Structure 1
Amino acid sequence: MKRLENKVAVIYGNGAVGATVAKSFAREGAHVYLTGRTWSKLETVAEQITSMGGSIEIAQVDAMCEDSVERHMEELIRKAGKVDISFNAVGLPQTGHQGTALIELSLENFLHPITAYSQSHFITAKAAARRMVAQKHGVILMNTPSPSRVSVPFMGGMPSTWSSIEALSRTISAELGPSGVRSVCILTSAMPDTPLIDEVYSLHARAHNIDYKQFHAGMEGRTHTKRLASINDLANAAVFAASDEGKAMTGTILNLTAGLVIN
């Protein structure tokens, strides 16, 4: 039996992470509701999942807008009758946020990612959690990179952003755990196979006055295995955390940093 057989999963974000997790969930038997802002990207993922025999529905949803998320969730419940898994994979362009010294960073650029990511994760988690509490089961998944736990220069407000998401995940677990709702945050290193990494690495290489390859080598060198996490590593962990195999896991961090962060 597939690990997510008969599960209903909603994913927010049509980028590389959201798409890869959607495919992994579908491959393991989940009926996936993939949402995002770019219809062409949603269609591409839907075609790929359908071609492999998976089950998926797509919708344009603004994960920053509570009304948009709620309307979609109401439609999902009307069709599927439940929601078992919620995963937020939204992202923001990082130019203006990373790669600038704090003393040169504007207040607006410091606060923007903190506000945007926190708002989106709260909105999507709340929408799913309300239904999960009523049905007495469900799991809410989030993803944060390693600077939430280790000190890295030129990160602007991003470490504060990711730390706040981890705190939200713990709070959800503490408050809603008695109602059968689990909450897990998946911690990753930088993932070199994400399209966003080119922008991020370039910003940091410039800030450190080194080239792209040197920065990448430095990141790999800080891990115990000399290997950074991949999107597939994240997707595989998400499947485990969402499945019944991970039913004892909640209020915690699933660490995929290969020793970069020691819990």
Structure 2
Amino acid sequence: MYLPSFQLNNKVALVTGAGRGIGRALAIGLAEAGADVAIFARTGSDLEAVAGEIRALGRQAYPFSVDVTNREQIEAAVSAIIRETDRIDILINNAGMNIRSQALAVTDEEWDTIMQTNLKSAFLCSQIVGRHMQQREYGRIINIASVAGQVALRTGVVYAATKAAMIQMTKVLALEWGKHGILVNGIGPWYFKTPLTEKILNQPDYLAEIIARTPLRRVGELEELVGPAVFLASDAANYVTGQTLFVDGGMTIYGF
């Protein structure tokens, strides 16, 4: 048989920033593929809503209100998940934010907030969960980067720096941890309809510019990120590591 399994039956996944937008879509998509899903977010009402959707699919949900820039909170939640499930097979580092400041206007507070939320959180979660994965000699880590980490965009210099760093961190972790059976990959989205992008996508001139630079001539739908994530989390990607898959409608063919 040459067709590998894309199913995630009996797997346990952890998704950060899972309360809304991309994280919510990925958490529900992993559940649809058969995984039980632990979800991290700061807003309790969002967590419970997503947990309810996961459970409606017949899967287990483990919601945790966690500040993913705080090592102690992450460690406590990860320990609780492992006590409950015995393992974490899949980690998706999705938590992120942006402040669209021009370079000369960036404040120290903005720099620190974006760096910690986007980059530090992904490293802390990878380090803490990765230690557990090394003990089991198995793991799948997926970092949600951005096309902004590959090409220059008007998204803000600090956001772009964090996403470029995530792409490089993906490569280094893949290199270090491959011998332990841990695959580390990334997904680099272009514009998708999320609460984070809703305001800017409602600006007709900016939306027209985005579409003009996208060969598929539209922004992405959240469900179009689920397939790549399930692929990278499944046995179908057993020989794929250190890569960032750009899900961008072709945008990175020529930049913006």
TM-score, length of structure 2 as denominator length:
0.91
Quick one: distance in 1 between partners of 2:213 and 2:204?
14
SS at match of 2:88: coil
CA contact (8 A) 1:20 1:232 kept: yes
Map of 1:258 onto structure 2: 249
Aligned CA distance change for structure 1 residues 154 and 64 (closer, same or farther; 3 Å) = closer
SS at match of 2:218: coil
Quick one: distance in 2 between partners of 1:78 and 1:153?
44
Gapped runs of 5+ residues in structure 1?
Answer: 203-211
Map of 2:225 onto structure 1: 234
Map of 1:48 onto structure 2: 53
Query: What CA RMSD, in Å, does the superposition of the two structures yield over aligned residues?
Result: 1.8
Aligned CA distance change for structure 1 residues 221 and 24 (closer, same or farther; 3 Å) = same
Quick one: distance in 2 between partners of 1:138 and 1:49?
22
Aligned identity (percent) is 25
Structure 1 residue identity aligned to 2:151: V
Map of 1:208 onto structure 2: none
Structure 2 residue aligned with 1:27, among 28, 32, 38?
A: 32
Structure 1 residue identity aligned to 2:252: V
Aligned CA distance change for structure 1 residues 104 and 72 (closer, same or farther; 3 Å) = closer
**Deviations 1:169-208 (Å, cap 9, x if unpaired)?**
11110000111101011011011x2011124457xxxxxx
Quick one: distance in 2 between partners of 1:8 and 1:26?
9
Q: Number of residue pairs matched?
A: 249
TM-score, length of structure 1 as denominator length:
0.89
Structure 1 residue identity aligned to 2:184: S
CA contact (8 A) 2:29 2:230 kept: yes
CA contact (8 A) 1:8 1:80 kept: yes
Q: Give the drift of 1:224.
A: 1.4
Map of 1:9 onto structure 2: 13
Structure 1 residue identity aligned to 2:232: A
Aligned CA distance change for structure 1 residues 147 and 108 (closer, same or farther; 3 Å) = same
Quick one: distance in 2 between partners of 1:44 and 1:233?
21
Aligned CA distance change for structure 1 residues 248 and 154 (closer, same or farther; 3 Å) = closer
CA contact (8 A) 2:68 2:74 kept: yes
Quick one: distance in 1 between partners of 2:83 and 2:195?
35
CA contact (8 A) 2:200 2:206 kept: no
Q: Give the drift of 1:247.
A: 1.2
Aligned CA distance change for structure 1 residues 114 and 201 (closer, same or farther; 3 Å) = farther
CA contact (8 A) 2:148 2:155 kept: no
Aligned CA distance change for structure 1 residues 260 and 133 (closer, same or farther; 3 Å) = same
Aligned CA distance change for structure 1 residues 200 and 90 (closer, same or farther; 3 Å) = farther
**Structure 1 residues 1-263: aligned runs within 5 Å:** 3-13=7-17, 14-92=19-97, 94=98, 97-98=99-100, 100-153=101-154, 155-191=156-192, 193-201=193-201, 212-262=203-253
CA contact (8 A) 2:149 2:163 kept: yes
Quick one: distance in 2 between partners of 1:73 and 1:152?
35
**Deviations 1:138-190 (Å, cap 9, x if unpaired)?**
11111112111111236231111100111111111000011110101101101
Structure 1 residue identity aligned to 2:43: T
Q: Give the drift of 1:104.
A: 3.2
Gapped runs of 5+ residues in structure 2?
Answer: none
Q: Give the drift of 1:2.
A: 6.7
